[in-house]
Structure 1
């Protein structure tokens, strides 16, 4: 029986951790080790956690305490470090894991998959939105299928990962960063895993209006830049020169650029942040050789211009963008 390490971070989730943790502990699949990482919040989340696990002494549960708050990426790295399962599953402590979720993941392991991905429901205060995938196996051009085919989503939860694959490829999360999912999924996909996708709904993403993904501040912009730079490094390490990759990265940086130029986030470091975002991805010569239209090439060429010029051009364009 395959062993699953379920990684459960806890930080200031007192209002929702009970139902979330219970959904994890009440899984129908039995061979699970629970790695609960206390990331030093300032509410009574961990008191609630302790009161719950007292009634689950028959479960394999370990609590790892951070000495200081390190952020979600660091808690997931801690989980990877302490995991001893064949597979790992990340879960956010304000979401709900369907009762049969891990059993469905395990049942799907009819071959040597590096990742199994489930469908999910995004639960808003007034409505639920199912995100349904197609049952299929992807075993080549994984990054293309992720970036272009949108075969699966960037969030790292609701996916069963082979632990040996993560460790062999030295995959980890950016620490002290609130937008670490996309860079991790990007780098994992670049390692060409064998992926099994399920149409079964195995997870409920509880969307909160005060969550990281709902409220953007200067820290969020800086974290998006960290993720962008991380993915650029991955592109270099893997020699990924395909048009679809550089097009994706070129588009990814536009969101934080629009936020800054439209003054949705006010920053005293605006120019410093924009300089980091506006570095050319390709030289003029490489852009000229791209197998695409002149109009498409211009989207890359803008970033090769002097900073004041490209900032002015992009500021004008930003007025047409909804962010």
Structure 2
């Protein structure tokens, strides 16, 4: 008897991406793997995104289009997609990104062959003029190696915090949801929980996701940190607390827990915290400069002392970076930073 071909649910939250949504949907429709259902969730777009999606749903029977009654954010849209999904596997795609044509086929084949709970791979970053593999894969080449892994065997997988670009077995995510109160870093807690709770992750050495870096007025929600650094730092603070609780739940050995959490903290410090902190410190608004440094220093006091020790080099690097721009800060912010340096 021929084995059933697994159904893959591709969940696409949409909000004001009329410029990109057609390219995104064409990359799904053109997939070499055909047993796919596409779930589009429009989060009350004010442009033509929804109208474009309607046309695609009329000509493609495997597209389900959902329109949210009010704008609730990407986490709510993804949760709506999860509730509607009927697949054996789930894949998340942002509506401005695209997929290599064989991405789903390669990932689904690997999931079945290796009985993997999650399949991941490389992702490429592109804009209007260029494309390149994300730098994380050059810093941690073990993430380019094909084969089975888990967080204990390859802790660097904790740097791969994006929900997009991963194929999840439905049994892993069907009882989960995204935290809707987080507007930045919202997918990290979801991804980390999946990485911690699963027994088998399979990594592909090929590119499975194309992440678009948007410029100017079309910046994505993940790029909003550049414009709202203080607000997004507070979201990061809440997100890190959620993730700490997940490590406490899934990693019973205290020493191992700190070791793994330290890897994740390093990622958050250099990719997320510093992005928010540096953009706040370089703001033309002096109140924003002082506020961002204040919330950062306050967050430091909340951290486990073991993390201060395990990530001592990371914090030193952040301090050095702050020091290099301290001379352009206003006096009030400089004084706050100086007091921090004198604190034992």
Going by fraction, where is helix more abundant, 1 or 2? 2
Q: Secondary structure at the match of 2:194?
A: helix
**Aligned residue among 105, 119, 131 for 2:107:** 105
Residues 12, 45 of structure 1: 8 Å contact kept = yes
**Aligned residue among 73, 83, 86 for 1:84:** 86
CA distance in 2 between partners of 1:12 and 1:263 (Å): 29
Tell me how far 1:122 sits from its aligned partner. 1.0
CA distance in 2 between partners of 1:122 and 1:270 (Å): 28
Q: 1:120 to 1:277 in 2, by over 3 A?
A: same
Q: CA RMSD in A?
A: 3.3
Tell me how far 1:29 sits from its aligned partner. 1.5
Q: 1:40 to 1:249 in 2, by over 3 A?
A: same
User: Aligned pair 1:200/2:206, yes or no?
Assistant: yes
Tell me how far 1:13 sits from its aligned partner. 0.3
Partner of 1:255: 274
**Aligned residue among 9, 34, 38 for 1:5:** 9
Give CA deviations for 1:35-61 in whole Å, capped at 9, x if unaligned: 1111111111000111222222xx322
Q: Secondary structure at the match of 1:96?
A: coil
Q: TM-score, normalised by structure 1?
A: 0.78
Q: How many residues align?
A: 296
Residues 122, 206 of structure 2: 8 Å contact kept = yes
Partner of 1:280: 302
Tell me how far 1:315 sits from its aligned partner. 5.3
Residues 115, 194 of structure 1: 8 Å contact kept = yes
Partner of 1:190: 196
Give CA deviations for 1:165-221 in whole Å, capped at 9, x if unaligned: 123xx4322214232232222222221441111112222211102223434213322
CA distance in 2 between partners of 1:115 and 1:269 (Å): 40
**Aligned residue among 186, 208, 230 for 2:242:** 230
CA distance in 2 between partners of 1:257 and 1:60 (Å): 40
Q: TM-score, normalised by structure 2?
A: 0.74
Q: How does 1:1-323 map to 2 (within 5 A)?
A: 1-56=5-60, 59-108=61-110, 109-131=112-134, 133-139=144-150, 141=152, 144-147=155-158, 153-167=160-174, 170-176=175-181, 177-209=183-215, 210-215=219-224, 216=226, 217=228, 218-238=230-250, 239=252, 241-242=255-256, 243-248=258-263, 250-251=265-266, 252=268, 254-255=273-274, 258-259=277-278, 262=281, 264=283, 266-267=287-288, 273-274=295-296, 277-282=299-304, 312=337, 316=341
- Identify unmatched segments of 5+ residues in structure 1: 303-310, 318-323
Q: Secondary structure at the match of 1:278?
A: helix
Give CA deviations for 1:226-280 in whole Å, capped at 9, x if unaligned: 2212112223323454332343465435527734873548549658844762343
